[in-house]
Amino acid sequence: MLIELVNVSKTFSDGHRALSNINIKIDNGEFVFLVGPSGAGKSTLIKLLLKELEADQGTILINDKDVTRMKRKDIPFLRRSIGVVFQDFRLLHEKTVYENVAFAMEVVEAPAKDIRRQVPIVLSLVGLSKKSNLYPSQLSGGEQQRVSLARAMVNGPSILIADEPTGNLDPDTSWEIMRNLSEINHRGTTILMATHAKEIVDAMKKRVIAIEECTIARDDKKGGYGI
């Protein structure tokens, strides 16, 4: 099992309950949509997986490692095994497409040889080989999101978390991103995508976990968005 949450609960210090008794198992190579109304706990769940937040109760296992009991010094290594894509791309604007992607390897001190080999591979995976010398401001929204996808994948993570990756994009561009994500998934990376995009979830026929009022309302193997 790649990701396993057992009886996980989280309440914030102001008393606001975010997640209650969550149990999820995600296998290697799965594609999982995380749906539910804003504030239902999707972002909290993602932050728990990345150990940006601590669970009050329960156990979270990633790659068989107990994240809840992990020592502080091991947290950066956990995060390097997970790629993350955000709604707002978060690219560095004074760096080119190539430099943005290479930077993600440089900061974790990857050897220069690996960087030169790996960056063109992920850029071609997202179809941006010809735009590697452009700056983010010269790209469309969809292309910027593809750069951030390449950046998230460049260190070869086993899990890719996408938090509303199509939230700022029009429907056509959103489908381009979904094609990229499917391709990445076919190559073996597990994908967990939080989204509000009903059409996408309904059309993809993938596993859907719905979180409502801090608990799992539904976990369907080939589900739809629901109401």
Integer Cα distance of 178 and 164 in angstroms: 11
Question: Does residue 121 bind another protein (CB under 8 A)?
Answer: no
E-strand ranges in the chain read: 3-11, 17-26, 31-35, 57-62, 65-66, 82-85, 159-163, 190-194, 207-212, 215-220
Question: Does residue 79 bind another protein (CB under 8 A)?
Answer: yes
Question: Does residue 71 bind another protein (CB under 8 A)?
Answer: no
Question: Does residue 205 bind another protein (CB under 8 A)?
Answer: no
As given in the structure block, the two tokens for residue 46 are 């993602």
Integer Cα distance of 126 and 207 in angstroms: 23
Q: Which stretch binds another protein (CB under 8 A): 3-11, 70-78, 170-178, 216-224?
A: 70-78
Pick 11 or 21: Cβ nearer another protein: 11
Smallest gap from Cβ 211 to another protein, in A, equals 21
Phi, psi of 125 (to 5 degrees): -60, -35
Q: Which of 25, 28, 108, 213 binds another protein (CB under 8 A)?
A: 108
Do 211 and 41 meet the contact criterion of CB atoms below 8 Å apart? Answer: yes
Amino acid at 142: G
Q: Which of 23, 37, 66, 90 binds another protein (CB under 8 A)?
A: 90
Q: Which residues bind another protein (CB under 8 A)?
A: 50, 52, 72-73, 76-80, 82, 84, 90, 92, 94, 103-104, 106-108, 155
